[in-house]
Amino acid sequence: MPDETKPNDPTSPEAAKPAEPKAEEKPAPPAPAEAKPAAPATPKPAAPAAAAKPPAPTAPAKPAVPTPQPWETELTARLKKKYGSGIRETSTYLGQNYLVVDRSLAHEILEILRDDEDFDYCVDVTAVHYPKKEEPFEIVWILYSFPNNMRVRVKTALPEGAEIPSVFDLWPTVDWLEREVFDMFGIKFTGHPGLKRILLPDEWKGHPLRKDYSILQQDKEWVQINLGIESGQ
């Protein structure tokens, strides 16, 4: 595995992986019918084969728009075997792998990834707000494995007001990262030892990285009381 890190493309360790199984997995394309949200990727049969090739040599010359490809390795096979439809999607986009998992399984799967798959470093926890979706928040964990020099992103969707189990017990590094997600999006992590605002003042109202929070918006009351000015604008 370490040898694969040599080549030019930083993604090559990941890109190299799908390349192999891809051949033997040609029967796979029909299988992904497991109702994926990213189904539009699969309908055109030519695209997967065409897009699977380019990442292997070098990326620069690309004719078509890249689309997420199914990501099938031993790791995903093991997870799928264990959790079935709890793993909603396993894909690779531009050589970067990600899993979309059911929210109730998120903590368990992250624990498995840490303990059995050697993802011993949680790089980042963040969120994205899609106000139009039924489950508007997407939590993203970016994991890295020191032994395998490999990255993976785990994502899960969250409805408004729902809570998600903290992974503080797995990686203490998420302490401040989860606090920041709470600060910016108002997402609560259950089991976090001290969930409170981190960058904004404790009494601030509103969560600025939500899409419905305008860039000019502010907590006027807080500004007037604490800064003694009418407005920060």
| Closer to other proteins by Cβ: residue 25 or 175 | 175
Nearer to other proteins, 2 or 27 (CB): 2
Strand order in the sheet with 87-93: 69-70, 87-93, 96-101, 150-158, 137-145, 121-129
Provide the minimum distance between the beta carbon of 31 and other proteins in the complex, in angstroms, as a whole number: 23
Determine the distance from the C-alpha atom of residue 175 to the mean position of all C-alpha atoms in its chain, rounded to a whole number.
Answer: 18
Query: In whole angstroms, how large is the CA radius of gyration of the chain?
Result: 20
- Closer to other proteins by CB, 59 or 223: give it: 59
When asked if residue 184 is in the footprint of other proteins (CB under 8 A), the reply is yes
Report if residue 145 touches other proteins, rule: CB under 8 A.
no
CA distance 143 to 111: 11
Residues 6 to 65 in contact with other proteins, rule: CB under 8 A:
6-8, 10-11, 13, 58-60, 62, 65
Q: With contacts defined by CB under 8 A, name the span among 17-25, 28-36, 72-80, 140-148 that binds other proteins.
A: 140-148
Instruction: Give the one residue of 34, 102, 108, 175 binding other proteins; rule: CB under 8 A.
Output: 175
CA proximity to 92, closest of 100, 101, 80, 81: 100
- Binding to other proteins (CB under 8 A): which residues in 89-128? 93-94, 96, 120-124, 126, 128
Q: Is 19 exposed, middle or buried (0-12, 13-18, 19+ CB in 10 A)?
A: middle
Tokens for 165, please give them: 């189990």
**CB closer to other proteins, 107 vs 151:** 151
- Which range binds other proteins by CB under 8 A, 21-29, 77-85, 102-110, 199-207? 199-207
User: What is the spatial distance between Cα 115 and Cα 219, in angstroms, rounded to a whole number?
Assistant: 43
One-letter amino acid of 32: P
How far is residue 159 CA from its own chain's centroid?
A: 16
Position among 19, 28, 56, 198 found at the interface with other proteins (CB under 8 A): 198
Which of 56, 68, 69 shows the shortest CA–CA distance to 29? 69
The one segment of 17-25, 77-85, 100-108, 175-183 that binds other proteins by CB under 8 A: 175-183
Are the C-beta atoms of residues 152 and 159 closer than 8 Å to each other?
Answer: no
Q: Which residues are near other proteins by CB under 8 A? A: 5-8, 10-11, 13, 58-60, 62, 65-66, 68, 93-94, 96, 120-124, 126, 128-129, 140, 142, 146, 149, 151, 153, 171-173, 175-177, 184, 193-194, 197-201, 208-209, 213, 215
